[in-house]
């Protein structure tokens, strides 16, 4: 179902819809982030969504590519790396015109290594383990993982967003989600671009 089909059910809420579109279209208030993977299918879907959003006036879009391999160490990972590279090279022209705003790091990869590779090209995002820590870990595991990620990634030159290394799984305990927010607020306090917050060293 396309976006326009979904919007057809909003006839009774035209005022609210109009205001929402106006806000989303205002580049000074909002940036709309399209999240995709470096594969043919997801890139085509992101392209379709991007065009439909542009059709209704939402043009201030940023493309976030999730799960991109930057290194490989065996035949399988090399093949996957090459396939991702090929998909990105033939990315739809519409997507190539978008700002690529962040590099999302899977929890299987090391933040510090990725930081060295991307240098000042992109902001960095990740990489608290979604299963081992967020779903199956304790509150303290979550807090310590967030703190570790901020220590490793916060001095990235183009910025850092503390997030999970992939989608947060279903049945993640609420107390772990609360712990994630608590830790980000605590250790990210007074954060500045390209600098590790002082708060991570205070306990």
Stretch among 5-19, 37-51, 68-82 having the lowest mean pLDDT: 5-19
Residue 126 has pLDDT above 80, yes or no: yes
Distance CA 203, CA 186 (A): 11
pTM above 0.85, yes or no: no
- Which residue(s) pair with 125 in the sheet? 104, 161
And the tokens for 12? 């009774």
- Which residue(s) pair with 99 in the sheet? 62
Query: 3-state class of 122 per DSSP?
Result: coil
pLDDT tens-place string over residues 86-124: 998 888 999 988 877 667 777 777 888 888 877 777 788
* 5 — pLDDT class (breaks 50, 70, 90): low
pLDDT tens-place string over residues 15-46: 787 888 888 888 887 888 888 888 999 999 99
Contacts of 27 (CB under 8 A, 6+ apart): 59, 60
Distance CA 156, CA 6 (A): 39
């Amino acid at each position: 179902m396309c976006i326009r089909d979904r919007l057809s059910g909003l006839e009774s809420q035209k005022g609210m819809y109009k205001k929402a579109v106006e806000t989303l279209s205002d580049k000074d208030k909002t940036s709309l982030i399209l999240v995709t993977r470096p594969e043919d299918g997801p890139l085509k879907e992101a392209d379709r969504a991007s065009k439909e959003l542009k059709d209704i006036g939402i043009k201030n879009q940023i493309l976030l590519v999730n799960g991109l391999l930057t290194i490989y160490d065996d035949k399988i990972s090399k093949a996957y790396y090459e396939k991702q590279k090929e998909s990105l090279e033939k990315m739809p022209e519409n997507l190539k015109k978008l700002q690529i705003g962040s590099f999302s790091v899977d929890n299987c990869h090391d933040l510090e290594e990725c930081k060295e590779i991307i240098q000042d090209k992109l902001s960095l995002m990740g990489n608290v383990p979604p299963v081992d820590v967020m779903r199956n870990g304790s509150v303290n595991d979550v807090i310590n993982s967030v703190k570790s990620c901020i220590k490793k990634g916060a001095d990235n030159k183009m910025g850092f967003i503390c997030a999970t290394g992939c989608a947060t799984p279903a049945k993640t305990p609420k107390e772990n989600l609360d712990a994630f927010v608590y830790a980000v607020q605590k250790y990210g306090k007074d954060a500045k671009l390209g600098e590790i917050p002082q708060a991570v060293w205070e306990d």
